[in-house]
Structure 1
Amino acid sequence: MHAAIGQFLRYLVVERGAAELTSKSYREDLTSLADYLTQAYGREPKPSEITPLDLRGYVSALHEAGYAKTSIARRLASLRTFYKFAQREGMADSNPAKPLRNPRKDRKLPHFLAGDELGKLLEAPPADDPAGLRDRAMLETLYSAGLRVSELVGMNDEDLDLDEGVVRIRGKGSKERLAPLGSFALRAIKKWLAHRKLASISVSSTRKSASKAGHGTPVFTNKFGKRLTTRSVARMLEKYLKLTGLDLRTTPHTLRHTFATHLLDRGADIRSVQELLGHKSLVTTQIYTHVSTAALKAVYERAHPRARNKSGRPPSSSSKEAG
């Protein structure tokens, strides 16, 4: 097995021009397998002797040793590549790694803000200058409507219906949807629009150039009257995160995560949340139910007298409980 691995590594470097780091990764992955199989067989087996069952045992051993799923998937990819070479060179009749599936990747739970953290952030922009009014309106709108940052900066004046409290959003794939705006967001938007001229914006010239370009009049603009970029919004948010001392992992998309999580935590129907977010598939929305479930379990384990304690064991019955 080790001889075959050496031959494969030479092929990678000489014929495929693999980088030193790539060759090193393959060497580590394949040597790890060879060492495991030598121990399992009691001798060093040939590549042709290895079966899918042997490899399943190897993958199980990696899981038990605490390897990350991404590391296991990489090792399986190395095995498949090695066995393609072994088949071509006549060292194996089949590829025993082919039937093995990669471990399913864990979906990372989205970061979101608790109610008090959100309140702190939304109140951070100053209310006594136009830039602060604009920033507060943007943050309120991101959270109120659960928008992507690209959808926020793409909003035009003509998309707003302030009387009805909705905004027309152009989402992914040019799909349009109506997003409701809460009272706080509506009030913040109205204040920003009323003071937009104070931010050194010539509304008439902005409308003229926007109309000529055929892109509409942007709701949120910079001091030159031009449409904000997604990067500008991210920089604006970062400024207020530092000001308030909130988690710097927070991004504009965090407010969208927060919107969905808060709705589900307060009993909203998941299909309604799917529509509000503009998700094509319900599967995409279901990650937020995991967040809600995790929060519920945390509350349960803190509060329920028969939940698991910090040691991970159910609390034992005391004499008082027995009585």
Structure 2
Amino acid sequence: MKWMREPKVLIQTFNDVEVKRMLNVFKGDYYLSLRNKLILMFFVDLGIRNLELCTLSSLDVRDSVIKIHGKGNKERHLYISPLLKKYIIKYERVKEAYFKDKIMTDSSFFLSQNGKTLTVVAIEVVVKKAGAEAKVRKHIRCSPHTLRHYYAQKQLRLGLDVYSLSRLLGHESTVITNHYLQSIQDEQILELAKTTSPLMNL
């Protein structure tokens, strides 16, 4: 008797066009719209988990890095890109004005319209709404976790090595991270190979 080989599960995620459309769903012209836009930007640019975003406090968002409280109380630091920084500054200004005359009890970075910490479900609703309005392909699941897959695959396509990506994602080993690599389509691997020809880089 031979062991049956498990079928390889390919993780299907958004393409670049869909992500751009999702980001543009929220115009950012008032507090909740800007908050929702920045939530999506955090998932796209940082690849963090839904729960990590929920538990993010204002003190965790620093000048150039964000401190993430990951699984098993493991902390990691993620770089804030210039574009993300621009929207963080705008959000903090709008947020301060919005809650100026309200009694604040929670110190979370992302807050509900009542000043409460957002739940995992509330954030899932934001992503689903963006996906529906952006007309994402039907077979793609619109969730924070799918955006995490997008982040991982995009980083790999841009040339980041698996070990560094594993650290950024907060994985305990590169074995988990390799699932993202296996899901990159053959034509995308060929595109990557164009820039990594040994002969061309001698």
TM-score (normalised: structure 2):
0.85
Asked if residue 136 in structure 1 is aligned to residue 34 in structure 2, the reply is: no
CA contact under 8 A between 1:121 and 1:244: conserved in structure 2?
A: yes
Superposition deviation, residue 299 in structure 1:
6.8
Q: Which structure 2 residues correspond to residues 88-237 of structure 1 after superposition, within 5 A?
A: 101=3, 103-161=4-62, 163=63, 165-199=64-98, 201=99, 205-206=103-104, 209-210=105-106, 217-237=107-127
Aligned AA for 1:246? V
1:272-310: CA deviations, max 9, x gaps? 10110010011000012112353436879xxxxxxxxxx
Residue matched to 2:151: 259
1:29-63: CA deviations, max 9, x gaps? xxxxxxxxxxxxxxxxxxxxxxxxxxx3xxxxxxx
Superposition deviation, residue 202 in structure 1:
5.1
CA contact under 8 A between 2:50 and 2:144: conserved in structure 1?
A: yes
Unmatched 5+ stretches in structure 2: 193-202
Unmatched 5+ stretches in structure 1: 1-55, 57-99, 211-216, 301-323
Partner SS, residue 178 of structure 1? strand
Residue matched to 1:250: 142
Larger radius of gyration: 1
Partner SS, residue 160 of structure 2? coil
Superposition deviation, residue 189 in structure 1:
1.9
1:132-164: CA deviations, max 9, x gaps? 100011110111111001111110000011x2x
Aligned AA for 2:26? P
Aligned AA for 1:240? A
Give RMSD over aligned pairs: 2.1
**2 CA distance for matches of 1:145 and 1:105?**
31
Residue matched to 1:280: 172
Identity %: 26
Superposition deviation, residue 204 in structure 1:
7.2
Aligned AA for 2:150? T
Partner SS, residue 286 of structure 1? helix
CA contact under 8 A between 1:148 and 1:253: conserved in structure 2?
A: yes
Pick from 162, 171, 188: which aligns with 1:296? 188
Aligned AA for 2:78? A
Higher relative contact order (CA 8 A, sep 6+): 2
Residues 285, 240 of structure 1: CA spacing in aligned structure 2 closer, same or farther, 3 A cutoff?
same
Superposition deviation, residue 196 in structure 1:
1.0
CA contact under 8 A between 1:122 and 1:136: conserved in structure 2?
A: yes
Residues 190, 267 of structure 1: CA spacing in aligned structure 2 closer, same or farther, 3 A cutoff?
same
Partner SS, residue 177 of structure 1? strand
Partner SS, residue 196 of structure 1? helix
Residues 227, 106 of structure 1: CA spacing in aligned structure 2 closer, same or farther, 3 A cutoff?
same
Residue matched to 2:128: 238
**1 CA distance for matches of 2:24 and 2:101?**
27
TM-score (normalised: structure 1):
0.55
Superposition deviation, residue 247 in structure 1:
3.0
Partner SS, residue 126 of structure 1? coil
Superposition deviation, residue 179 in structure 1:
1.2
Aligned AA for 1:277? L
Residues 272, 236 of structure 1: CA spacing in aligned structure 2 closer, same or farther, 3 A cutoff?
same
